[in-house]
């Protein structure tokens, strides 16, 4: 699927970005969006993961513990563009799988930290992505949802690995859009990517990743599997909490 008008924060429809985010915030004070587009597009790598530093809090029982990805170094998770396909008023849910979704399953877990590596409970996380065919649902809320981290700052997401598609920036590698915000803090907009070795839909993830102009390796999900037709992944966010 080709999306010709994929744009960054300055190219979004007037009022779309701020008003859509505000509809989910539980805080009485509004956050201010802080998206470092230039840094996210040009950065090629971020803080390295530290192997087996900490198991993902939401990992399924019986699976091998996953290292924190990326390790909490105190550096904010790199930002990226929002794109034109965000929709406000998504349902609050952690399971995005519906009967119509037939892709390669992904169970994603992680923790949201502040820049001093303190876990952040009640942090808003929004997820949206395309399906196994590279299509976004623009009429409903398939593969869209938001949730809040638990008392340990942890989140869990049940979804699928998305497929690549063509947009304004060329062929996009498979990715999951996210926006993360502590109450009253600025919004982090970013995109999560997949390792070169990922196996899904017969696609060459290494080639797709290498060709994507927006991809930031620091935002790569750590995967284990596949086991059957399912991956388990981990990614931890580091965000600022003050404007």
pLDDT in tens, 28-55: 333 333 333 333 333 333 443 333 333 3
Q: What is the pLDDT of residues 114-150, one digit of tens each?
A: 999 999 999 999 999 999 999 999 999 999 999 999 9
**pTM for the model:** 0.74
| Cα 233 from chain centre | 12
- The total number of structural domains that make up the chain: 1
How far apart, in whole angstroms, are the C-alpha atoms of residue 69 and residue 108? 11
In this model, does residue 200 exceed pLDDT 70? yes
How many Cβ atoms sit within 10 Å of the Cβ of residue 220? 22
* Whether the bond into 226 is cis, omega within 30 of 0: yes
Model pLDDT, residue 59: 38
**What letters, b where the CB count within 10 A reaches 16 and e where it falls short, cover 21-36?**
beebbeeeeebebebe
Supply the range of the domain harboring residue 128.
2-239
Q: How confident is the model at residue 71 (pLDDT cuts 50, 70, 90)?
A: low
Mean pLDDT of the chain: 79
Q: What is the pLDDT of residues 107-122, one digit of tens each?
A: 999 999 999 999 999 9
CATH code where residue 209 lies? 2.60.130.10
């Amino acid at each position: 699927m080709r999306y010709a008008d994929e744009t960054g924060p300055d190219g979004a429809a007037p009022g779309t970005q701020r008003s859509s985010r505000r509809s989910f915030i539980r805080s009485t004070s509004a956050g201010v969006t802080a998206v470092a587009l230039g840094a996210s597009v040009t950065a090629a790598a971020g803080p390295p993961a530290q192997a087996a530093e900490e198991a993902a809090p939401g990992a399924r029982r019986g699976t091998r513990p996953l290292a924190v990805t990326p390790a909490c170094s105190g550096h904010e998770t790199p930002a990226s563009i929002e794109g034109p396909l965000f929709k406000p008023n998504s349902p609050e849910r952690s399971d995005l799988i519906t009967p119509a979704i037939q892709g390669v399953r992904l169970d994603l877990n992680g923790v949201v930290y502040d820049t001093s590596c303190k876990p952040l409970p009640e942090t808003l996380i929004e997820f949206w992505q395309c399906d196994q065919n590279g299509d976004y649902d623009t009429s409903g809320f398939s593969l869209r949802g938001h949730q809040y981290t638990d008392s340990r700052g942890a989140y869990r997401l049940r979804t699928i690995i998305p497929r690549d598609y063509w947009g304004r920036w060329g062929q996009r590698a498979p990715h999951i859009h996210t926006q993360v915000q502590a109450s009253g803090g600025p919004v982090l907009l970013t995109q999560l990517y997949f390792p070169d070795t990922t196996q899904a839909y017969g696609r060459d993830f290494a080639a797709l990743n290498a060709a994507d102009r927006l991809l930031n390796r620091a935002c790569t999900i750590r995967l284990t599997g596949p086991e059957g037709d399912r991956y388990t992944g981990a990614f931890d966010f580091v965000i600022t909490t003050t404007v």
